[in-house]
Amino acid sequence: MAWIAVAPLLVALARDHGTGSRRPFLFGLLTGAGYFGGTVYWTPAVLQTFGGLHWALAVAAGSLLVGYLALFPALFAVCLATMIRVFGARGLLLGPAAWVATEWLRRYVLGGFPWVLLGSSQARLTPIAQTASLVGVYGLSALVVLASAAAALAVAGRGRERVVAPVCALALIAALAGWGTLRVQEGSLLRAGASVRVALVQGNVRQDEKWSQGLARQIFENYLALTRQAADQGAALVVWPESATPFLFEHDAVGRAGIVDLVQRRRIHLLFGSDQFEAGAPPRSFNSAFLVTPAGDVAGVYKKMHLVPFGEYVPLKRLLFFAAPLVEAVSDFSPGDRPVVMSIGEHALSTAICYEVVYPDLVADFVAGGSQLLTTITNDAWYGASSAPYQHFEQAALRAVEQGRYLIRAANTGISGIVDPYGRVVTASAIFERTVVMGDVRFLTGRTFYGQTGDVFAAACALLTILTLIAAWRARGAAASR
Protein backbone atom coordinates (compact mmCIF):
# COMPACT_ATOMS: atom_id res chain seq x y z
CA MET A 1 0.00 0.00 0.00
CA ALA A 2 2.91 2.35 0.65
CA TRP A 3 3.63 2.64 -3.07
CA ILE A 4 0.30 4.36 -3.74
CA ALA A 5 -0.44 5.76 -0.29
CA VAL A 6 0.62 9.31 -1.13
CA ALA A 7 -1.07 9.35 -4.55
CA PRO A 8 -4.49 10.63 -3.35
CA LEU A 9 -2.82 13.61 -1.70
CA LEU A 10 -0.79 14.33 -4.83
CA VAL A 11 -3.85 14.17 -7.09
CA ALA A 12 -5.71 16.52 -4.74
CA LEU A 13 -2.79 18.98 -4.86
CA ALA A 14 -2.55 18.79 -8.64
CA ARG A 15 -6.28 19.47 -9.06
CA ASP A 16 -6.50 22.21 -6.44
CA HIS A 17 -6.63 25.61 -8.11
CA GLY A 18 -6.61 27.75 -4.97
CA THR A 19 -4.03 30.49 -4.66
CA GLY A 20 -3.34 30.24 -0.93
CA SER A 21 -1.69 27.56 1.16
CA ARG A 22 -4.61 26.76 3.47
CA ARG A 23 -6.17 23.98 1.40
CA PRO A 24 -2.86 22.18 0.64
CA PHE A 25 -1.95 22.48 4.32
CA LEU A 26 -5.26 20.90 5.34
CA PHE A 27 -4.89 18.17 2.69
CA GLY A 28 -1.43 17.33 4.07
CA LEU A 29 -2.61 17.50 7.67
CA LEU A 30 -5.43 15.07 6.91
CA THR A 31 -2.99 12.72 5.20
CA GLY A 32 -0.62 12.95 8.17
CA ALA A 33 -3.45 12.26 10.61
CA GLY A 34 -4.23 9.02 8.78
CA TYR A 35 -0.54 8.13 8.47
CA PHE A 36 0.39 8.58 12.11
CA GLY A 37 -3.00 7.86 13.64
CA GLY A 38 -2.69 4.41 12.12
CA THR A 39 0.91 3.81 13.20
CA VAL A 40 1.38 5.38 16.65
CA TYR A 41 -2.16 4.60 17.84
CA TRP A 42 -0.64 2.70 20.79
CA THR A 43 0.65 5.87 22.48
CA PRO A 44 -2.47 6.59 24.62
CA ALA A 45 -2.46 3.04 26.05
CA VAL A 46 1.18 3.44 27.08
CA LEU A 47 0.53 6.81 28.71
CA GLN A 48 -2.52 5.51 30.56
CA THR A 49 -1.03 2.21 31.74
CA PHE A 50 2.47 3.32 32.67
CA GLY A 51 2.17 7.11 32.88
CA GLY A 52 -0.81 7.13 35.22
CA LEU A 53 -2.87 9.47 33.03
CA HIS A 54 -6.64 9.38 32.96
CA TRP A 55 -7.77 7.78 29.70
CA ALA A 56 -9.12 11.08 28.39
CA LEU A 57 -5.82 12.88 29.02
CA ALA A 58 -3.92 9.95 27.51
CA VAL A 59 -6.02 10.15 24.34
CA ALA A 60 -5.51 13.92 24.24
CA ALA A 61 -1.74 13.54 24.62
CA GLY A 62 -1.63 10.84 21.94
CA SER A 63 -3.67 13.06 19.64
CA LEU A 64 -1.22 15.90 20.19
CA LEU A 65 1.62 13.61 19.09
CA VAL A 66 -0.28 12.60 15.95
CA GLY A 67 -1.09 16.25 15.26
CA TYR A 68 2.54 17.26 15.65
CA LEU A 69 3.78 14.50 13.33
CA ALA A 70 1.06 15.36 10.80
CA LEU A 71 2.57 18.83 10.45
CA PHE A 72 5.38 17.38 8.36
CA PRO A 73 3.15 15.94 5.58
CA ALA A 74 1.28 19.26 5.80
CA LEU A 75 4.52 21.15 5.19
CA PHE A 76 5.28 18.78 2.32
CA ALA A 77 1.88 19.51 0.78
CA VAL A 78 2.37 23.27 1.00
CA CYS A 79 5.82 23.05 -0.62
CA LEU A 80 4.66 20.76 -3.42
CA ALA A 81 1.53 22.83 -4.08
CA THR A 82 3.76 25.87 -4.59
CA MET A 83 5.84 23.94 -7.13
CA ILE A 84 2.76 22.65 -8.96
CA ARG A 85 1.29 26.15 -9.34
CA VAL A 86 4.43 27.30 -11.13
CA PHE A 87 5.55 24.18 -13.00
CA GLY A 88 2.19 22.52 -13.59
CA ALA A 89 1.45 18.85 -13.00
CA ARG A 90 5.08 18.03 -13.78
CA GLY A 91 5.88 19.56 -10.43
CA LEU A 92 4.59 16.29 -8.95
CA LEU A 93 7.93 14.75 -9.93
CA LEU A 94 9.54 16.98 -7.32
CA GLY A 95 7.42 15.21 -4.72
CA PRO A 96 10.08 12.63 -3.73
CA ALA A 97 12.62 15.37 -2.95
CA ALA A 98 10.10 17.43 -0.98
CA TRP A 99 8.94 14.40 0.98
CA VAL A 100 12.49 13.42 1.93
CA ALA A 101 13.26 17.01 2.92
CA THR A 102 10.38 17.04 5.40
CA GLU A 103 11.19 13.54 6.71
CA TRP A 104 14.79 14.59 7.26
CA LEU A 105 13.53 17.69 9.06
CA ARG A 106 11.45 15.47 11.35
CA ARG A 107 14.67 13.74 12.34
CA TYR A 108 16.02 16.98 13.86
CA VAL A 109 13.13 19.16 15.10
CA LEU A 110 12.70 19.03 18.90
CA GLY A 111 15.34 16.32 19.21
CA GLY A 112 13.86 14.30 16.36
CA PHE A 113 11.32 11.51 16.10
CA PRO A 114 12.11 9.54 12.92
CA TRP A 115 9.64 6.75 13.73
CA VAL A 116 8.01 4.89 10.80
CA LEU A 117 9.68 6.82 7.99
CA LEU A 118 7.90 5.91 4.77
CA GLY A 119 10.92 3.99 3.46
CA SER A 120 10.76 1.69 6.50
CA SER A 121 7.69 0.07 4.94
CA GLN A 122 10.03 -1.74 2.53
CA ALA A 123 12.15 -3.48 5.19
CA ARG A 124 10.80 -6.95 4.32
CA LEU A 125 10.83 -6.43 0.54
CA THR A 126 14.43 -7.60 0.33
CA PRO A 127 15.29 -6.70 -3.31
CA ILE A 128 13.99 -3.14 -2.93
CA ALA A 129 15.43 -2.78 0.57
CA GLN A 130 18.95 -3.08 -0.90
CA THR A 131 18.54 0.49 -2.18
CA ALA A 132 19.14 1.53 1.44
CA SER A 133 22.77 0.43 1.07
CA LEU A 134 23.13 3.23 -1.51
CA VAL A 135 20.95 6.07 -0.23
CA GLY A 136 19.61 4.94 3.15
CA VAL A 137 16.03 4.80 4.33
CA TYR A 138 15.43 8.30 2.97
CA GLY A 139 16.25 7.02 -0.50
CA LEU A 140 13.66 4.29 -0.05
CA SER A 141 11.14 6.95 0.96
CA ALA A 142 11.92 8.86 -2.22
CA LEU A 143 11.47 5.74 -4.33
CA VAL A 144 8.11 4.97 -2.75
CA VAL A 145 6.86 8.54 -3.22
CA LEU A 146 8.10 8.47 -6.83
CA ALA A 147 5.66 5.64 -7.51
CA SER A 148 2.80 7.71 -6.07
CA ALA A 149 3.93 10.77 -8.03
CA ALA A 150 3.97 8.80 -11.28
CA ALA A 151 0.51 7.41 -10.55
CA ALA A 152 -0.79 10.88 -9.75
CA LEU A 153 0.73 12.30 -12.93
CA ALA A 154 -0.98 9.55 -14.92
CA VAL A 155 -4.29 10.80 -13.52
CA ALA A 156 -3.75 14.56 -13.37
CA GLY A 157 -1.15 15.11 -16.10
CA ARG A 158 -1.55 15.95 -19.75
CA GLY A 159 -0.37 14.43 -23.00
CA ARG A 160 2.64 12.14 -23.09
CA GLU A 161 3.68 12.86 -19.49
CA ARG A 162 0.75 10.73 -18.35
CA VAL A 163 2.46 7.70 -19.90
CA VAL A 164 6.15 8.61 -19.85
CA ALA A 165 6.36 9.33 -16.10
CA PRO A 166 4.81 6.01 -14.95
CA VAL A 167 6.90 4.03 -17.44
CA CYS A 168 10.15 5.70 -16.33
CA ALA A 169 9.27 5.27 -12.66
CA LEU A 170 8.47 1.60 -13.13
CA ALA A 171 11.70 1.12 -15.09
CA LEU A 172 13.75 2.66 -12.26
CA ILE A 173 11.99 0.59 -9.59
CA ALA A 174 12.43 -2.59 -11.64
CA ALA A 175 16.12 -1.82 -12.23
CA LEU A 176 16.76 -1.29 -8.53
CA ALA A 177 14.81 -4.43 -7.64
CA GLY A 178 16.84 -6.40 -10.17
CA TRP A 179 20.11 -5.03 -8.83
CA GLY A 180 18.96 -5.77 -5.29
CA THR A 181 18.10 -9.36 -6.22
CA LEU A 182 21.56 -9.88 -7.72
CA ARG A 183 23.22 -8.29 -4.68
CA VAL A 184 21.47 -10.67 -2.32
CA GLN A 185 22.11 -13.71 -4.52
CA GLU A 186 25.82 -12.86 -4.73
CA GLY A 187 25.89 -12.78 -0.92
CA SER A 188 29.56 -11.94 -0.44
CA LEU A 189 28.90 -10.42 3.00
CA LEU A 190 27.79 -13.83 4.27
CA ARG A 191 31.27 -15.24 3.64
CA ALA A 192 33.43 -12.35 4.83
CA GLY A 193 34.83 -11.70 8.28
CA ALA A 194 35.27 -13.83 11.39
CA SER A 195 32.28 -15.77 12.70
CA VAL A 196 31.01 -15.69 16.29
CA ARG A 197 28.15 -17.52 17.96
CA VAL A 198 25.78 -15.17 19.78
CA ALA A 199 22.88 -15.62 22.16
CA LEU A 200 20.11 -13.14 22.86
CA VAL A 201 18.41 -13.55 26.22
CA GLN A 202 14.76 -12.55 26.29
CA GLY A 203 13.76 -12.42 29.96
CA ASN A 204 10.11 -11.49 29.32
CA VAL A 205 9.73 -9.40 32.46
CA ARG A 206 6.45 -7.49 32.68
CA GLN A 207 6.86 -3.75 32.99
CA ASP A 208 4.93 -3.59 36.27
CA GLU A 209 7.26 -6.27 37.72
CA LYS A 210 10.51 -4.94 36.36
CA TRP A 211 11.51 -2.89 39.42
CA SER A 212 9.70 -4.93 42.07
CA GLN A 213 12.10 -5.49 44.99
CA GLY A 214 10.37 -8.76 45.81
CA LEU A 215 11.03 -10.15 42.33
CA ALA A 216 14.52 -8.70 41.76
CA ARG A 217 16.40 -11.83 42.81
CA GLN A 218 14.19 -14.10 40.74
CA ILE A 219 14.56 -11.89 37.65
CA PHE A 220 18.33 -11.85 38.00
CA GLU A 221 18.52 -15.62 38.55
CA ASN A 222 16.45 -16.20 35.42
CA TYR A 223 18.92 -14.16 33.36
CA LEU A 224 21.83 -16.06 34.84
CA ALA A 225 20.20 -19.42 34.16
CA LEU A 226 19.36 -18.56 30.54
CA THR A 227 22.90 -17.31 30.02
CA ARG A 228 24.39 -20.56 31.35
CA GLN A 229 22.13 -22.41 28.93
CA ALA A 230 23.40 -20.24 26.06
CA ALA A 231 27.03 -20.76 27.05
CA ASP A 232 26.50 -24.52 27.16
CA GLN A 233 25.31 -24.30 23.55
CA GLY A 234 28.51 -22.57 22.47
CA ALA A 235 27.67 -18.87 22.66
CA ALA A 236 30.75 -16.64 22.89
CA LEU A 237 28.77 -13.38 23.07
CA VAL A 238 25.59 -13.13 25.13
CA VAL A 239 23.35 -10.06 25.01
CA TRP A 240 20.75 -9.05 27.60
CA PRO A 241 18.11 -6.39 26.96
CA GLU A 242 17.97 -2.74 27.98
CA SER A 243 17.94 -2.18 31.78
CA ALA A 244 18.07 -5.95 32.26
CA THR A 245 19.62 -5.88 35.73
CA PRO A 246 17.16 -5.10 38.55
CA PHE A 247 19.97 -3.18 40.23
CA LEU A 248 22.67 -0.63 39.37
CA PHE A 249 25.58 -2.70 38.10
CA GLU A 250 28.22 -0.27 39.32
CA HIS A 251 26.69 0.15 42.79
CA ASP A 252 25.44 -3.32 43.72
CA ALA A 253 28.36 -5.49 44.88
CA VAL A 254 26.36 -8.70 45.02
CA GLY A 255 24.85 -8.29 41.56
CA ARG A 256 28.17 -7.24 40.04
CA ALA A 257 29.90 -10.26 41.60
CA GLY A 258 27.25 -12.56 40.15
CA ILE A 259 27.84 -11.25 36.64
CA VAL A 260 31.63 -11.34 36.93
CA ASP A 261 31.54 -14.90 38.26
CA LEU A 262 29.28 -15.96 35.40
CA VAL A 263 31.45 -14.58 32.59
CA GLN A 264 34.66 -15.88 34.16
CA ARG A 265 33.31 -19.39 34.65
CA ARG A 266 31.71 -19.61 31.21
CA ARG A 267 34.38 -17.62 29.33
CA ILE A 268 31.91 -15.41 27.52
CA HIS A 269 31.50 -11.75 26.66
CA LEU A 270 28.32 -10.32 28.14
CA LEU A 271 26.61 -7.15 26.85
CA PHE A 272 23.73 -5.89 28.96
CA GLY A 273 21.76 -2.81 29.91
CA SER A 274 21.90 -1.28 33.38
CA ASP A 275 21.24 2.19 34.72
CA GLN A 276 24.11 4.40 35.88
CA PHE A 277 24.18 7.02 38.60
CA GLU A 278 26.78 9.78 38.85
CA ALA A 279 26.98 11.92 41.96
CA GLY A 280 27.50 15.61 41.38
CA ALA A 281 25.76 18.91 41.34
CA PRO A 282 23.26 18.01 40.13
CA PRO A 283 23.45 14.18 40.24
CA ARG A 284 22.77 12.47 36.93
CA SER A 285 21.33 9.15 35.82
CA PHE A 286 22.04 7.39 32.53
CA ASN A 287 20.48 4.53 30.60
CA SER A 288 23.65 2.60 29.80
CA ALA A 289 25.04 -0.56 28.22
CA PHE A 290 28.04 -2.45 29.63
CA LEU A 291 30.32 -5.00 27.97
CA VAL A 292 32.04 -7.39 30.38
CA THR A 293 34.87 -9.65 29.14
CA PRO A 294 35.66 -13.26 30.11
CA ALA A 295 38.27 -11.82 32.49
CA GLY A 296 35.53 -9.97 34.36
CA ASP A 297 36.67 -6.55 33.17
CA VAL A 298 34.37 -3.86 31.81
CA ALA A 299 35.53 -3.39 28.22
CA GLY A 300 33.20 -0.51 27.43
CA VAL A 301 30.24 1.55 28.58
CA TYR A 302 27.82 3.37 26.30
CA LYS A 303 25.39 5.98 27.62
CA LYS A 304 22.20 6.38 25.64
CA MET A 305 22.25 9.63 23.64
CA HIS A 306 18.69 9.86 22.26
CA LEU A 307 16.30 9.65 25.18
CA VAL A 308 12.63 8.76 24.73
CA PRO A 309 10.40 11.80 25.29
CA PHE A 310 7.77 11.08 27.95
CA GLY A 311 9.58 7.82 28.70
CA GLU A 312 13.00 8.90 29.95
CA TYR A 313 12.49 12.62 30.22
CA VAL A 314 9.61 15.05 29.91
CA PRO A 315 10.09 17.98 27.52
CA LEU A 316 8.39 21.27 28.33
CA LYS A 317 7.57 20.23 31.88
CA ARG A 318 6.19 23.63 32.87
CA LEU A 319 3.68 23.58 30.03
CA LEU A 320 2.56 20.05 30.80
CA PHE A 321 1.03 20.83 34.17
CA PHE A 322 -2.02 18.74 33.26
CA ALA A 323 0.18 15.65 32.97
CA ALA A 324 1.57 15.80 36.53
CA PRO A 325 1.22 12.01 37.10
CA LEU A 326 3.20 11.34 33.93
CA VAL A 327 5.94 13.81 34.87
CA GLU A 328 6.28 12.18 38.29
CA ALA A 329 6.35 8.66 36.85
CA VAL A 330 9.03 9.26 34.25
CA SER A 331 12.67 8.77 35.16
CA ASP A 332 14.69 11.89 34.49
CA PHE A 333 17.71 10.57 32.61
CA SER A 334 20.59 12.58 31.19
CA PRO A 335 21.77 11.92 27.61
CA GLY A 336 25.19 10.53 26.76
CA ASP A 337 27.50 12.73 24.72
CA ARG A 338 29.21 10.39 22.24
CA PRO A 339 28.83 7.11 20.35
CA VAL A 340 31.00 4.38 21.86
CA VAL A 341 32.47 1.37 20.07
CA MET A 342 33.45 -1.53 22.33
CA SER A 343 36.23 -4.06 21.79
CA ILE A 344 35.57 -7.78 21.83
CA GLY A 345 38.92 -9.45 21.33
CA GLU A 346 40.32 -8.26 18.01
CA HIS A 347 36.93 -7.04 16.89
CA ALA A 348 34.52 -4.24 17.76
CA LEU A 349 30.80 -3.85 18.24
CA SER A 350 28.34 -1.11 19.09
CA THR A 351 24.93 -0.98 20.65
CA ALA A 352 21.97 1.32 20.17
CA ILE A 353 19.64 1.44 23.16
CA CYS A 354 15.90 1.17 22.53
CA TYR A 355 14.54 3.54 19.89
CA GLU A 356 17.99 4.95 19.12
CA VAL A 357 18.14 2.33 16.39
CA VAL A 358 15.62 4.31 14.32
CA TYR A 359 18.24 7.08 13.93
CA PRO A 360 20.19 6.14 10.77
CA ASP A 361 22.91 8.73 11.39
CA LEU A 362 23.68 7.45 14.90
CA VAL A 363 24.21 3.90 13.65
CA ALA A 364 26.35 5.33 10.84
CA ASP A 365 28.48 7.06 13.47
CA PHE A 366 29.04 3.71 15.21
CA VAL A 367 30.24 2.11 11.98
CA ALA A 368 32.43 5.10 11.14
CA GLY A 369 33.99 4.61 14.57
CA GLY A 370 34.93 1.02 13.71
CA SER A 371 31.92 -1.10 14.68
CA GLN A 372 31.95 -4.46 12.91
CA LEU A 373 28.75 -5.77 14.47
CA LEU A 374 25.57 -3.84 15.24
CA THR A 375 23.63 -4.66 18.37
CA THR A 376 20.55 -3.07 19.86
CA ILE A 377 19.01 -3.69 23.26
CA THR A 378 15.51 -2.63 24.18
CA ASN A 379 12.57 -3.00 26.52
CA ASP A 380 9.40 -3.06 24.44
CA ALA A 381 7.20 -4.20 27.32
CA TRP A 382 5.76 -0.67 27.30
CA TYR A 383 4.04 -1.31 23.99
CA GLY A 384 1.99 -4.34 24.96
CA ALA A 385 0.56 -6.50 22.19
CA SER A 386 0.41 -3.61 19.70
CA SER A 387 2.10 -3.02 16.36
CA ALA A 388 4.93 -1.10 18.01
CA PRO A 389 7.30 -4.05 18.73
CA TYR A 390 6.99 -5.14 15.11
CA GLN A 391 7.49 -1.60 13.79
CA HIS A 392 10.56 -1.25 16.01
CA PHE A 393 12.11 -4.50 14.78
CA GLU A 394 11.54 -3.75 11.10
CA GLN A 395 13.10 -0.31 11.40
CA ALA A 396 16.12 -1.85 13.11
CA ALA A 397 16.49 -4.35 10.25
CA LEU A 398 17.06 -1.54 7.76
CA ARG A 399 20.14 -0.39 9.70
CA ALA A 400 21.75 -3.73 8.76
CA VAL A 401 21.17 -3.06 5.05
CA GLU A 402 22.33 0.55 5.24
CA GLN A 403 25.63 -0.34 6.89
CA GLY A 404 26.29 -3.83 5.50
CA ARG A 405 26.49 -5.31 8.99
CA TYR A 406 24.85 -8.11 10.92
CA LEU A 407 22.44 -6.75 13.51
CA ILE A 408 21.46 -8.57 16.68
CA ARG A 409 18.61 -7.41 18.88
CA ALA A 410 17.83 -8.40 22.46
CA ALA A 411 14.41 -7.26 23.68
CA ASN A 412 12.94 -7.85 27.12
CA THR A 413 9.56 -9.04 25.83
CA GLY A 414 10.52 -9.44 22.15
CA ILE A 415 11.09 -9.30 19.33
CA SER A 416 14.68 -10.58 19.76
CA GLY A 417 16.45 -11.70 16.63
CA ILE A 418 19.33 -11.74 14.17
CA VAL A 419 19.27 -9.85 10.88
CA ASP A 420 21.84 -10.47 8.15
CA PRO A 421 23.57 -7.64 6.20
CA TYR A 422 20.88 -7.85 3.50
CA GLY A 423 18.05 -7.21 5.96
CA ARG A 424 16.82 -10.79 6.09
CA VAL A 425 15.70 -12.12 9.47
CA VAL A 426 17.86 -15.16 10.23
CA THR A 427 15.98 -16.04 13.41
CA ALA A 428 13.60 -14.23 15.72
CA SER A 429 11.50 -14.82 18.82
CA ALA A 430 7.83 -14.24 19.39
CA ILE A 431 6.73 -11.52 21.76
CA PHE A 432 6.00 -12.34 25.39
CA GLU A 433 8.00 -15.53 25.68
CA ARG A 434 11.02 -16.31 27.86
CA THR A 435 13.63 -17.70 25.53
CA VAL A 436 17.18 -17.61 24.18
CA VAL A 437 17.75 -16.83 20.51
CA MET A 438 20.95 -18.39 19.15
CA GLY A 439 22.82 -17.92 15.89
CA ASP A 440 26.09 -17.24 14.11
CA VAL A 441 27.03 -13.77 12.89
CA ARG A 442 30.14 -12.24 11.37
CA PHE A 443 32.31 -9.26 12.15
CA LEU A 444 32.40 -7.24 8.93
CA THR A 445 34.67 -4.37 7.97
CA GLY A 446 33.51 -3.34 4.49
CA ARG A 447 31.53 -0.15 3.96
CA THR A 448 28.42 0.38 1.89
CA PHE A 449 28.05 3.47 -0.29
CA TYR A 450 25.56 4.87 2.19
CA GLY A 451 27.90 4.02 5.05
CA GLN A 452 30.59 6.15 3.43
CA THR A 453 28.42 9.08 2.33
CA GLY A 454 25.77 9.22 5.07
CA ASP A 455 22.67 11.31 4.45
CA VAL A 456 24.07 13.16 1.44
CA PHE A 457 21.03 12.09 -0.57
CA ALA A 458 18.64 13.50 2.04
CA ALA A 459 20.64 16.72 2.20
CA ALA A 460 20.57 16.99 -1.60
CA CYS A 461 16.78 16.54 -1.55
CA ALA A 462 16.47 19.31 1.03
CA LEU A 463 18.70 21.61 -1.04
CA LEU A 464 16.77 20.84 -4.24
CA THR A 465 13.49 21.56 -2.46
CA ILE A 466 14.74 24.91 -1.13
CA LEU A 467 16.16 25.98 -4.50
CA THR A 468 13.00 24.93 -6.32
CA LEU A 469 10.81 26.86 -3.88
CA ILE A 470 12.97 29.96 -4.37
CA ALA A 471 12.65 29.58 -8.14
CA ALA A 472 8.89 29.09 -7.83
CA TRP A 473 8.44 32.17 -5.67
CA ARG A 474 10.52 34.25 -8.08
CA ALA A 475 8.53 32.98 -11.04
CA ARG A 476 5.26 33.81 -9.30
CA GLY A 477 6.56 37.26 -8.38
CA ALA A 478 7.65 37.93 -11.96
CA ALA A 479 4.25 36.79 -13.28
CA ALA A 480 2.42 39.02 -10.81
CA SER A 481 4.43 42.08 -11.80
CA ARG A 482 3.58 41.74 -15.47
Residues 149, 81: Cα–Cα separation, whole Å:
13
Adjacent-strand bridge partners of 277: 285
| Residue 304 annotated among the catalytic residues of the structure | yes
Name, in order, each residue with C-beta under 8 angstroms of 378's C-beta and a sequence gap of 6 or more: 241, 242, 353, 354, 355, 357, 392, 409, 410, 411, 412
Name, in order, each residue with C-beta under 8 angstroms of 17's C-beta and a sequence gap of 6 or more: none
Q: Is the Cβ–Cβ distance between 395 and 172 less than 8 Å?
A: no
Distance (Å) of CA 405 to CA 192, 223, 390, 453: 11, 27, 20, 16
| Residue 354 annotated among the catalytic residues of the structure | yes
Q: Is the Cβ–Cβ distance between 400 and 360 less than 8 Å?
A: no
Q: Is the Cβ–Cβ distance between 201 and 238 less than 8 Å?
A: yes
Considering the candidates 161, 242, 312, 402, report the single residue annotated as catalytic. 242
Considering the candidates 79, 161, 312, 354, report the single residue annotated as catalytic. 354
Considering the candidates 79, 304, 356, 394, report the single residue annotated as catalytic. 304
What type of residue is 475?
Answer: A
Angle between helices 7-15 and 22-37 (to 10 degrees): 170
Q: What are phi and psi of 242, to 5 degrees?
A: -60, 135
| Residue 317 annotated among the catalytic residues of the structure | no
Residues 238, 438: Cα–Cα separation, whole Å:
9
In whole angstroms, what separates CA 368 from the centre of its chain? 18
Q: Is the Cβ–Cβ distance between 153 and 166 less than 8 Å?
A: yes
Name the CA dihedral angle for 354, 199, 442, 444, rounded to a multiple of 10 degrees.
30
**365: which DSSP letter?**
H
CB atoms within 10 A of CB 463: 12
Q: State whether residue 82 is helix, strand or coil.
A: helix
Residue by residue, DSSP assigns 408-463 as: EEEESSS--EEE-TTS-EEEEPPTT--EEEEEEEEE-----HHHHH-THHHHHHHH
Q: Which residues are catalytic?
A: 242, 304, 354
